[in-house]
Amino acid sequence: MAMSDFFSAYWFFDYGISYLKSGHWSKHYELSLGLFNGAAECAFSIGEHDSLSILSEQIMHFAKCIEDKHTIFLTTIKLLIIRSNLPAAIECGLDALADLDEDFPDECTQDVIAHFMEDTKEMLDGMSDKDLITHKRMTDPKKIIAMKFLAKVDQPMFMIRPRDQPIAVLKMVQISLMYGMSPISPFAFVAYGSFIASMGNIREGCRYAGVARALLQKMNSREVAGAVIAYSAQLMAYLEPVQSAIEFHLEGSKAGMECGAAPWAMLNNFLYDSGSYWSGKKLHLVRSQLDQTISLVKQYKNPVMLVQLLPLYGTVSKMIGATRRNSNPETDAKFDSEYNTDQLERDLRVENPFQAKPHYFNKMYTAFMLRNFDDMKSAAKKYSQFKIGSCIFVFSSSIYTFYEGLISFWIGRKENDDKWIAKGKDARRAIESLEASSSSWNFENKAKLLQAEEQYFEGNLEHAETLYDSAVLSAKEHRFVNEEALANKLSGFFYLETGRKEEAKVCFFHAIEKYRQWGAFGVAKSLAHFLESLEDAST
């Protein structure tokens, strides 16, 4: 296992179990517990879920106390998560925490969260990065185990109980400060950094991500390495050019696979694929990456991650103008024999706002890109019902804000609806704040384009024209070919709708050229057809 060869390790554990005689749990308890726990962990890591169920039943029946059961409890929670039974995963974790005398609030109201946050800030007050990194080590066995359960329930909580998730994070930080740093503490601090960054304090959030990475190295916390890198890479994308920041997700994927944390490896792959798309990487490369990630997800039988991936895959395919996925027949056949993907998507979107939000965002976004106003507005209404944020997809959340703003301005301008215009202005202020507080590289062109759309609505046409030009130049300077194309396209519609058809044509030509350069041949074709109709109307 230390060499990350979980297939071989599983075979050896299974071989060892085969030599155990009848009554081994009473005669050779420690040996039995070690073999069964090791086999269970490896079975999960290689996707042998049926074998895992058999092993876990034995451990749960014969293990004598929570300390001896905690490993299989944690593995069971992981299995429940990838099998989409998120409520059961949370309850399993909370039951274990209760056995460890770690109470969790029955209702996590804003007042409760504020109280926990205030206590945490008081405990951190005056502690430098060095103080945190050199803080004492945790020695209390129950607290070490409690940290593991808090980290494990964190994941399903941000999917279906996002109000509860901050409490899990804050409790981990508080336990680390009171009892010392455990191998889970690096995750506690990067999750805390992401939480405060999601509330607007980007630089302070990045500070705690730096503390987490230092603790990760100091404590050699392999089990949380993939998670820490996933969170911190998203935060780094606020301060560094996103085109380079997302590369750390590849490191996170490798770290996750090496320690048997396949779900975190897959999540890092997904975040890399998503970041590649939004940063303007060639679309045929993004689609190839997504094909590989989907095959990995199916190999490890993780339907929750698959449903998270599919909306982005659909978007990329529509931008390219392609329909079929480059599948792995063997992997797909095995997965599809166990899961009905369409039914999974429907079920998860009903039960899980974390899944529903990206589904409606991608429907809204693709309709916007292809200028299908009615479909865009319909999806935008559904998308706006989901007020949840994300403490892990923090950079992706800023992308959602940007496009929601552009879409809101279009709806508000077309229908003269102040509510939609107010949404657009909120988005503009949020992106301006990110430009000022984090990275002009990543956010300057986005701020300029939102400002241009607002000025267009306000009737300040000369100012709007200047801002559209600035958005195009900024996107080009910062190597966002996708947003350079978009800024040209929106400039074209601005000129067209204000009676300057020739200027509009020039912008549309530039947009088509940049969409083709990006690999968005589906969008380029749609815009070219529109331009042809414009030419025909002129003649």
DSSP conformation letters of 473-498: HHHHHTT-HHHHHHHHHHHHHHHHHT
Distance CA 497, CA 500 (A): 7
* Matching residue, tokens 């749960």: 60
Q: What is the pLDDT along the chain (539 residues), one digit of tens a residue?
A: 444 577 888 888 988 998 888 889 988 999 998 998 888 888 887 778 788 888 888 888 888 887 888 888 888 888 888 777 888 999 999 999 999 999 899 888 889 999 999 999 999 999 999 999 999 999 999 999 999 999 999 988 887 888 899 999 999 999 999 999 999 999 999 999 999 998 889 999 999 999 999 999 999 888 899 999 999 999 999 999 999 999 999 999 999 998 878 889 999 999 999 999 999 999 999 999 999 999 999 988 888 888 889 999 999 999 999 766 555 565 566 666 666 667 766 766 665 677 788 899 999 999 999 999 999 999 999 999 886 655 567 788 899 999 999 999 999 999 999 999 999 999 999 999 999 988 899 999 999 999 999 999 999 999 999 999 999 999 999 999 999 999 999 999 999 999 999 999 999 999 999 999 999 999 999 999 999 988 776 65
User: Mapping DSSP to helix (H, G, I), strand (E, B) and coil, where does residue 137 land?
Assistant: strand
Domain boundaries, the chain: 282-364, 365-538
- Looking at residue 20, what DSSP letter applies? P
SS (H, E, C) 192-234: HHHHHHHCCCHHHHHHHHHHHHHHHHHHCCHHHHHHHHHHHHH
CATH code of domain 365-538: 1.25.40.10
pTM of model > 0.75: yes
Q: Which helix or strand (DSSP H or E) is residue 307 part of?
A: helix 303-320
Distance CA 514, CA 506 (A): 13
